[in-house]
Amino acid sequence: MNDALTPPAELVSPADAPKVVPFTVAHRGLSAHAPENTLSAVRAAHQAGCSWVELDVQLLGDGTPVIWHDNGVRRCSDSRGKLAKLDLKRAQSLDVGRWFSSEFAGERMATLEDMLRLINELDMGLNLELKVNRGRDAQALVAAALPMTLAALPSERLVVSSFSLSALASARAHEPDPDRLRLGLLFEKIPRDWLQEARRFKAYSLHVDWRKLKESRAREVKAAGYRLFCYTANDPVAFSRQWDWGVDAVISDDPTLYEHHLPGAVPPQSDETPT
Ligand code: G3P
Ligand code: MG
């Protein structure tokens, strides 16, 4: 396609687009300091001053949506095997905190329902990634996870993203209104036909691996009126030029690192400088 530089007619011009204050999103919760994708990781993010978290959702074998990243449970629990083989009782018998640190021993796998309740209690924003691992059913995931998520959170505190085109299509079919459901297209590298895809899904945002983002592409995305999120960036100094390209949000394992490195942030005072 050759229309990547032409803003879609249905979108506002960049001059009219509401100004977005660049912000940070805690990746899998505050995963640098707590076991990823757990209630503790979200509480830790909140305590650290983060207002948004990114979390992955998948289905257990019995159809319960849970907050989990991998196909299996080996890396982040005291057991092994595939998530799809577990029912809720078995899944919640696992310890999903001790692998990270003894401080989190006894942590239980969070259901999406429990997590949505916590996000609401803490008044946080959620970037929910529909995680479709190999062999899993995107439509079943959307059917189980999306209605309860939309019922729990207002549109301004929710962005639903996925690498899976089937999950995105299914989500958009479930909720056709782009103002009610903000959809994020996840890419490692933004493809040449990104605008066609963004239009097809009535996308809100593009989410890209920050190391694979080129300035020209970033500026195209912003000129077309879409939000641009970068994952997973944990070096605020290396990331500084991406803000100049118009990036709206950085997804980081530790957003506190960005305290003095967001555009417009107050630089550290001299008495905060390590000696
Ligand atoms: O949503 C951004 C990021 O979470 C995508 O990669 O593997 O960490 O889920 P992953
Ligand atoms: Mg994710």
Domain harbouring 203, CATH code: 3.20.20.190
Instruction: With respect to residue 50, please indicate whether it lies within any of the assigned structural domains.
Output: yes
Q: What is the pLDDT of residue 266?
A: 63
Helical ranges in 51-155 per DSSP H: 88-91, 112-122, 138-152
- Are 118 and 42 in contact by the 8 Å Cβ rule? The answer is yes
Q: Give the separation between CA 215 and CA 219, rounded to whole angstroms.
A: 6
Instruction: With respect to residue 77, please indicate whether it lies within any of the assigned structural domains.
Output: yes
Q: Which residue has the higher pLDDT, 155 or 15?
A: 155
Q: Which of 173, 97, 89, 167 lies closest to 128, judged by CA?
A: 167
Ligand 1 centroid, distance to 231 Cα (angstroms): 7
Ligand 2 centroid, distance to 162 Cα (angstroms): 8
Mean pLDDT of the chain: 91
Take atom 2 of ligand 1 and give the residue whose Cα is closest.
231
Pairing type for strands 65-67 and 52-59 reads antiparallel
Q: Is 231 in the pocket of ligand 1 (CB under 6 A)?
A: yes
* Residue 197 CB neighbour total at 10 angstroms: 16
* Residue 270 CB neighbour total at 10 angstroms: 6
Residue 17 has pLDDT above 70, yes or no: no
Q: Is 36 in the pocket of ligand 1 (CB under 6 A)?
A: no
Per-residue pLDDT band for 256 (boundaries 50, 70, 90) equals very high
Q: Is 126 in the pocket of ligand 1 (CB under 6 A)?
A: no
Q: Measured in Å, how far apart are the chain's first and last C-alpha atoms?
A: 54
Instruction: With respect to residue 191, please indicate whether it lies within any of the assigned structural domains.
Output: yes
**Residue 45 main-chain phi, psi, to 5 deg:** -60, -45
Q: Give the separation between CA 97 and CA 37, rounded to whole angstroms.
A: 10
Instruction: With respect to residue 94, please indicate whether it lies within any of the assigned structural domains.
Output: yes
Average pLDDT over residues 14-25: 66
Residue 62 has pLDDT above 50, yes or no: yes
Q: Is 68 in the pocket of ligand 1 (CB under 6 A)?
A: no
Percent of the chain with pLDDT over 90: 86
Residue 15 has pLDDT above 60, yes or no: no
- Say how far residue 177 (Cα) sits from the centre of its chain: 20
Average pLDDT over residues 6-25: 55
Q: Which residues, in sequence order, are CB contacts of 35 under 8 Å at separation 6+?
A: 41, 76, 96, 97, 99, 100, 101, 104, 107
Ligand 1 centroid, distance to 111 Cα (angstroms): 18
Which ligand 1 atom lies nearest to the CA of residue 27?
4
Q: What is the pLDDT of residue 37?
A: 99
Which ligand 1 atom lies nearest to the CA of residue 69?
9
Average pLDDT over residues 141-164: 98
Q: Which residue has the higher pLDDT, 274 or 101?
A: 101
Q: What is the pLDDT of residue 155?
A: 97
* Residue 38 CB neighbour total at 10 angstroms: 26
Q: Is 58 in the pocket of ligand 1 (CB under 6 A)?
A: no
* Segment (H or E) for 43: helix 39-47
Instruction: With respect to residue 244, please indicate whether it lies within any of the assigned structural domains.
Output: yes
Q: Which residue has the higher pLDDT, 225 or 267?
A: 225
Q: Give the separation between CA 255 and CA 61, rounded to whole angstroms.
A: 33
Instruction: With respect to residue 269, please indicate whether it lies within any of the assigned structural domains.
Output: no
Average pLDDT over residues 133-146: 98
Decide: helix, strand or coil at residue 24. strand
Per-residue pLDDT band for 260 (boundaries 50, 70, 90) equals confident
Residues 119-135, buried b or exposed e (16+ Cβ, 10 A)? beebebbbbbbbbbbee
Its domain, for residue 40, covers 18-257
Ligand 1 centroid, distance to 105 Cα (angstroms): 25
Instruction: With respect to residue 267, please indicate whether it lies within any of the assigned structural domains.
Output: no
Q: What is the pLDDT of residue 261?
A: 85
Ligand 2 centroid, distance to 194 Cα (angstroms): 20
| Least confident interval from 33-47, 191-205, 257-271 | 257-271
Angle 208-210-214 from CA coordinates, rounded to 5°: 90
Q: Which ligand is nearest to the CA of 55?
A: 2
Domain count, the chain: 1
Per-residue pLDDT band for 271 (boundaries 50, 70, 90) equals low
Q: What is the pLDDT of residue 7?
A: 35
Q: What is the pLDDT of residue 263?
A: 85
- Are 161 and 183 in contact by the 8 Å Cβ rule? The answer is yes
Which ligand 1 atom lies nearest to the CA of residue 163?
5
Residue 8 has pLDDT above 60, yes or no: no
Ligand 1 centroid, distance to 271 Cα (angstroms): 36
Residue 22 has pLDDT above 90, yes or no: no
Instruction: With respect to residue 134, please indicate whether it lies within any of the assigned structural domains.
Output: yes
Q: Give the separation between CA 162 and CA 185, rounded to whole angstroms.
A: 6
Q: Is 210 in the pocket of ligand 1 (CB under 6 A)?
A: no
Average pLDDT over residues 238-264: 93
**Residue 170 main-chain phi, psi, to 5 deg:** -65, -40
Q: Give the separation between CA 18 and CA 144, rounded to whole angstroms.
A: 33
* For the chain, the helix, strand and coil percentages under 3-state DSSP, each to the nearest 5: 30, 20, 50
Q: Is 55 in the pocket of ligand 1 (CB under 6 A)?
A: no
